[in-house]
Amino acid sequence: MTTTTPSGVQTAARTTATAAVAARATDLTKVYGQGETQVVALDGVSVDFRKAEFTAIMGPSGSGKSTLMHCVAGLDSISSGSARIGDTELTGLKDKQLTKLRRDKIGFIFQAFNLLPTLNALENITLPMDIAGRKPDQAWLDTVVETVGLSGRLKHRPTELSGGQQQRVAVARALAGRPEIMFADEPTGNLDSRSGAEVLGFLRNSVRELGQTVVMVTHDPVAASYADRVVFLADGRIVDEMADPTADRVLDRMKDFDAKGRTS
């Protein structure tokens, strides 16, 4: 595995993942407000997030990136179209069912680490499972802790950890329940580039080595280059997609959009 080139691993992941969809939006529309204050945040978005794939979502501020993530993750209602996690259609689920689905099948990572200051790293990692009354699978937990490089830090409280380490705790917390899919909204937005690179490396490892599925919103072409593909949003629509992105190609594409935006 370690001798395989990154592109080789990516190809393998994609081949086995084509049939299996971890989450899907179909003609998804989200409208906020009414009348004059109405905002069409998503305008007929259709996208698949395949299993064991790392997808980055990019686009200008206000293009609907967070909204797409929230709607597909069942954190926000949709106006029309459909969203599903695995085989489960979100529309029509009762609140309780939705809460259970989020708890059991989805991992979240946000820009703010959202750790509880009174709990140590390990307690933070297992908190969602403790709340759900689920017993952590110890072997999986060990793997996760090792993957994110926190083995020597489990007894530390958040204030005793660097920003990067805190975000790694948040990544481990999202992974601990072995979710079907993880959603990360600008997970490196509060980190310096070195800590950011660490966290992105761990997200990528969780896909490559643990077979997890990650969807990440980012503004940063370098962060996007860790993904297997990039989906570009503008004005609530998907306007482009890129496979095997590099930071340079992503940057070029973004400049292209800027130029088009100015001339149209």
Ligand X SMILES: Nc1ncnc2c1ncn2[C@@H]1O[C@H](COP(=O)(O)OP(=O)(O)OP(=O)(O)O)[C@@H](O)[C@H]1O
Query: Is residue 50 at the binding interface for ligand X, with CB under 6 A as the rule?
Result: no
Task: Give the DSSP letter of residue 70.
Answer: H
- The entry of Mg ion, ligand X, none near residue 261 (CB within 5 to 8 angstroms by kind) is none
Task: Count the Cβ atoms, other than its own, within 10 Å of residue 151.
Answer: 9
With CB under 5 to 8 Å by kind, the binding choice for 173 among Mg ion, ligand X, none is none
**230 sits near ligand X (criterion: CB under 6 A):** no
CA–CA gap between residue 43 and residue 167 (Å, rounded): 32
Give the C-alpha separation, 155 to 201, whole Å: 23
Determine if 44 is a binding residue for ligand X (CB under 6 A). Answer: no
128 binds, among Mg ion, ligand X, none (CB under 5 to 8 A by kind): none
Residue 33 binds which one of ligand X, Mg ion, none, with CB within 5 to 8 A depending on kind? ligand X
Question: CB of residue 16 vs ligand X: minimum separation in angstroms?
Answer: 31
Nearest CB to ligand X, comparing residues 64 and 177? 64
DSSP labels, 132-169: HTPPP-HHHHHHHHHHTT-GGGTT--GGGS-HHHHHHH
| Degrees, nearest 5: CA angle 97-102-104 | 90
Q: Does 126 bind Mg ion (CB under 5 A)?
A: no
Position 100 contacts ligand X (CB under 6 A):
no
Residue 90 vs 122, nearer CB to ligand X = 90
d(Cα 233, Cα 149) in Å, to the nearest integer? 33
Burial (0-12, 13-18, 19+ Cβ within 10 Å), 75: middle
Q: Which is nearer to ligand X, 18 or 77 (CB)?
A: 77
Tell me the window of 61-69, 88-96, 132-140, 174-182 that interacts with ligand X (CB under 6 A): 61-69
Pick the closer one to ligand X by CB: 72 or 101. Answer: 72
Give whichever of 65 and 102 is closer to ligand X, judged by the CB atom: 65
107 binds ligand X (CB under 6 A): no
List the one residue from 10, 55, 63, 66 that touches Mg ion (CB under 5 A): 66
Spell out the residues 6+ positions from residue 187 whose beta carbon is closer than 8 angstroms to its own: 109, 110, 111, 167, 170, 171, 199, 200, 203, 216, 218
Are 171 and 161 within 8 A, CB to CB?
no
Binding characters for ligand X, 185-224, by CB under 6 A (x = yes): ----------------------------------------
Residues whose CB falls within 8 Å of the CB of residue 70, separated by 6 or more in sequence, listed in order: 76
Could you tell which of ligand X, Mg ion, none binds residue 63, using a CB distance below 5 to 8 A set by kind? ligand X
Q: Does 165 bind Mg ion (CB under 5 A)?
A: no
Q: Is 218 in the site for Mg ion (CB under 5 A)?
A: no
How far is Cα 27 from Cα 35, in angstroms, rounded to an integer?
A: 22
